[in-house]
């Protein structure tokens, strides 16, 4: 693969997010930046996109991204002398997997899902209805 010019990565979302299940705060911020890039990112791209009063060191970001790769969150390929990282799964896939895990951990996934449906907001109810209709149409 040929080396490409580094593309700036958008800064992490301004609203505070809770770390994703199984990820620390910096790991979650890094994943947000990786998901915001279509071409993949290098460590320096992520470092430039992290907005914080306490900017982590380059080596810290590099180590965290290597850990995310070993944990199966990121895939990487050599691009010149540096790795370019991309997410192994989309943000939506991660959220779906986390939801399934939460339901399974409830002890009674069907009851938990039904309870959610009964307590759902109007917007959530519309989304569930649309999803079920689309599922029926594909069968």
Q: Is the residue at 12 inside a domain?
A: no
Q: Is the residue at 1 inside a domain?
A: no
* Local confidence pLDDT in tens for the 139 residues of the chain: 444 444 445 544 444 455 556 799 999 999 999 999 989 999 999 999 998 777 899 999 999 999 999 999 999 999 999 999 999 999 999 999 989 999 999 999 999 999 999 999 999 999 999 999 999 999 8
Count of domains observed in the chain? 2
In this structure, the answer to whether residues 81 and 127 fall within a common structural domain is no
Residues in the chain: 139
Which three-class secondary structure state does DSSP give residue 82? strand
Domain that holds residue 35: 25-87
In this structure, the answer to whether residues 98 and 128 fall within a common structural domain is yes
DSSP H helices in the chain? 25-35, 43-49, 58-70, 91-105, 109-119, 122-137
Q: Is the residue at 97 inside a domain?
A: yes
């Amino acid at each position: 693969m040929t080396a490409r010019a580094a593309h700036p990565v958008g800064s992490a979302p301004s609203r505070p997010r809770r770390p994703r299940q199984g990820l620390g705060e910096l790991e979650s911020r890094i994943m947000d930046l990786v998901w915001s890039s279509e071409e993949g990112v290098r460590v320096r791209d992520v470092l430039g996109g992290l907005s914080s009063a306490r900017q982590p060191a380059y080596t810290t970001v590099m180590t965290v991204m290597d850990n995310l790769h070993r944990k199966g969150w990121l895939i990487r390929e050599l691009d010149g002398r540096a790795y370019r990282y991309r997410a192994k799964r989309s943000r939506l896939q991660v959220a779906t997997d986390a939801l399934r895990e939460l339901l399974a951990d409830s002890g009674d996934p069907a009851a938990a899902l039904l309870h959610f449906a009964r307590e759902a907001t109007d917007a959530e109810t519309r989304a569930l209805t649309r999803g079920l209709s689309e599922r029926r149409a594909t069968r």
